Chains A and B, each alone.
Chain A
Amino acid sequence: MEALNTYKAGPDERGHFGMYGGRFVAETLMPLILAVEQAYEAARNDPAFQATIDDFAKHYVGRPSPLYFAERLTELFGDGDKGAKIYFKRDELNHTGAHKINNCLGQILLAKRMGKTRIIAETGAGQHGVATATVCARFDLPCVVYMGVEDIERQKPNVFRMKLLGAEVVPVTSGSRTLKDAMNEALRDWVANVENTFYIIGTVAGPHPYPAMVRDFQRVIGDEVREQILAAEGRLPDTLVACIGGGSNAMGLFYAFLDEEDIRLIGVEAAGHGLDTDKHAASLTGGRPGVLHGNRTYLLQDDDGQILEAHSISAGLDYPGIGPEHSWLKDTGRVAYVSATDAEALDAFQLCSRFEGIIPALEPAHALAHVKRIAPELPKDHLIVMNLCGRGDKDVFTVADALGVEI
């Protein structure tokens, strides 16, 4: 790998982050993909477009989200004269309860600009589906959300939310009946409805320009952290931690700090029952490069190149791929990727609830599980910022079930 003077130059004009990314889609979609790219280029250079996003981000989403000093967990994880100081970026306080709305807001405004009259989306945990349904209600566009039947079962509250918001939720019964199959089904819909339909992809994956575009819409997370930590501590953080499914909350948090190489960036994948089993969702630590859903990236796959089913207690991390920029950041070594198991996430979920009075989503509970692992060894003046990217209301049934509690 040649030396880089910036990690923020990607992607190139063909959508590549190193060898990752690209535009691996059917010809039917290709003209539209190019049109999205062109429209996005024009929009991002239009101050009025950004001003509209900022206005909705402030008054509708509730940005900026607070940077919160998690004092009790800092104490709990600390050990004598050691123990890092832990901050949470409170993106779970956004309207709809997760960071997903940041991206949906940007994409629906782009869809409007392009004159599209119908929105489709895929969802795993339902957070992206809810966020998409929300902006569709607000901007008066019909919304179809594809969701695997497995996920519909474990995320019932979000399914009902989407319906309340006026979206049609289409159960996906093909393949493993989770997020990847929902994405296949959304792509099939898109191919059949290219002329009027905009596909709001929920993470930093898919064909170019989606990975870069979604990152740009999520980078507000890290941009805010930068200002907020300077105000709180007078300096930048030492370590940033975020969970990774497709990787949008992590890209959003990391992006503003990529070029400060002394800041440790850590992405936490879902290890499910453990990386030594076949039930996990850690594509970076347990997969290898392949091509799926429009991009080259690390994938969970068998020897024949068939995509494997991922597993995680968290529906939002239950995806066998990852955004291509993360694959590149892994290969360059700029970001460290680790994993946490279902059991570790459940433990962190309960600690956060009991000690901070914050019920986190199972997704960031994975990030917290890693914070719990590293914080005790770090000096007291070490600043960790963890992205608390979603709240846990949607997960109470899953957690109750996992803990053997009937509600």
Chain B
Amino acid sequence: MSNRQGAPAASAAPGAAIESRVERCFAALKAARRGGLVVFVAAGDPDPETFFEILSGLPEAGVDVIEIGMPFSDPMADGPAIQAASLRALQAGMTLSGTLDMAARFRTQDDETPIILMGYYNPIYSYGPQKFLEDAREAGVDGLIIVDLPPEEDVELCLPTIDAGLHWIRLATPTTDDKRLPAVLSNTSGFVYYVSIMGITGTRSASGAAVREAVTRLKRHTDLPVAVGFGIKTPEQAAEIVTVADAVVVGSAVIERLKAGLDEAGRAQPGLVEDVLGFVRALAEGVRQGRPG
């Protein structure tokens, strides 16, 4: 593994303080002395148009960073909620290039909210990593989280991503010990995503004490903001997380809410978008109450 400087800084002119959207976002949160809300939605779930309506409404609902899941047929690290979301999206015709189109379309109306794409390597490998990075940057994507690319495989996509001027956001987990942590944090920029449990998305939840201890440990090793995800389901849990972390990630719970608005054939029923955004608004309020400025 070779070390590289944080990408956006490297692509900036010497001395110029050009920040990425992600960096601006976390700087603003810090200035406002509040935690951030990161929300995960699966691209094209339950269908492209309904998805885009949800996506478009997220910033107004109080989301600070948007994670868009790139649907994959075999999401090994995801629980039933996101597995089902991936499948719905794929069945509704979503593809990787379709996901990039969604991001690009979002950018025409919002040039500030960071977009992170999250998923698995194979669709990108199939698309062609270099072409993917060019198209993602063109679409206004800010960073990538790729679940099945640990530091041991950095040459595949991590280093090219940094070269392309995008953030590579790594997952740190309860099994990432102090010996391994430097490798995990190297080549990471934007923020660090702490997976608060051993397990898959949307299942069990970590205790507040365990998260506090873990974030404290991470902070000893990095100055990057830390976002905590996996198993966070309610505004109350989100509020608790941001008392110790810089941001909280909620995915499966939002998707469960979406699923509740589908009819038996999996089609969006009237009111689904507003209901999902209402839930996100409640999460955002929770986050704002967790650490009132």
Q: Which of A27, A32, A187 makes the CB contact (< 8 A) with B170?
A: A27
> Which chain B residue lies CB-closest to A181?
B74
**Beta-carbon contacts of B84-105 to A below 8 Å, as 1s and 0s?**
0001001000011000000000
State whether the Cβ of B222 lies closer than 8 Å to any Cβ in chain A: no
CB within 8 Å of B: which A271-306 residues: 290-294, 296, 299, 301, 303-306
A31 → B minimal CB distance (Å)? 5
**Beta-carbon contacts of B142-172 to A below 8 Å, as 1s and 0s?**
0000011111110000000000000000111
A295 → B minimal CB distance (Å)? 10
Contacts of A188 in B (CB 8 A): 76-77, 79, 199-200
Q: Which of A27, A180, A294, A305 makes the CB contact (< 8 A) with B123?
A: A305
Please tell me if the beta carbons of A303 and B121 are within 8 angstroms of each other in the complex. Answer: no
**Size of interface on B: residues with Cβ below 8 Å to A:** 45
Q: Which of B176-184, B208-216, B282-290 is found at the contact surface with chain A?
A: B176-184
A291 → B minimal CB distance (Å)? 5
Please tell me if the beta carbons of B172 and A180 are within 8 angstroms of each other in the complex. Answer: no
Q: Between A and B, how many residue pairs show CB distances below 8 Å?
A: 119
Assuming the contacts A28-B175, A31-B177, asked whether A301 and B126 have C-beta atoms less than 8 A apart, the reply is yes
A157 → B minimal CB distance (Å)? 28
**Beta-carbon contacts of A69-99 to B below 8 Å, as 1s and 0s?**
0000000000000000000000000000000
Please tell me if the beta carbons of A28 and B198 are within 8 angstroms of each other in the complex. Answer: yes
A324 → B minimal CB distance (Å)? 14
State whether the Cβ of B203 lies closer than 8 Å to any Cβ in chain A: yes
State whether the Cβ of B207 lies closer than 8 Å to any Cβ in chain A: no
State whether the Cβ of A261 lies closer than 8 Å to any Cβ in chain B: no
A191 to B75, CA, bound (A): 13
A95 → B minimal CB distance (Å)? 32
A25 to B74, CA, bound (A): 13
A342 to B292, CA, bound (A): 66
Please tell me if the beta carbons of A305 and B127 are within 8 angstroms of each other in the complex. Answer: yes
Please tell me if the beta carbons of A23 and B152 are within 8 angstroms of each other in the complex. Answer: yes
A147 to B2, CA, bound (A): 40
A181 to B87, CA, bound (A): 13
Assuming the contacts A194-B175, A304-B123, asked whether A25 and B200 have C-beta atoms less than 8 A apart, the reply is no
Please tell me if the beta carbons of B199 and A191 are within 8 angstroms of each other in the complex. Answer: yes
Contacts of B77 in A (CB 8 A): 26, 28, 187-188, 191
State whether the Cβ of A397 lies closer than 8 Å to any Cβ in chain B: no
Contacts of A192 in B (CB 8 A): 197-200, 203-204
Q: Which residues of B contact A (CB under 8 A)?
A: 72-77, 79-80, 83, 87, 90, 95-96, 120-127, 147-153, 170-177, 180, 184, 195, 197-200, 203-204
Q: Which residues of A contact B (CB under 8 A)?
A: 14, 22-32, 174-175, 180-181, 184, 187-188, 191-195, 290-294, 296, 299, 301, 303-307
Using A26-B76, A26-B148, A192-B198 as known contacts, list a sample of 11 further A-B pairs with CB atoms less than 8 Å apart, ordered by residue number in A: A24-B148, A27-B170, A27-B195, A28-B199, A30-B175, A31-B176, A175-B73, A181-B74, A188-B79, A290-B126, A307-B74
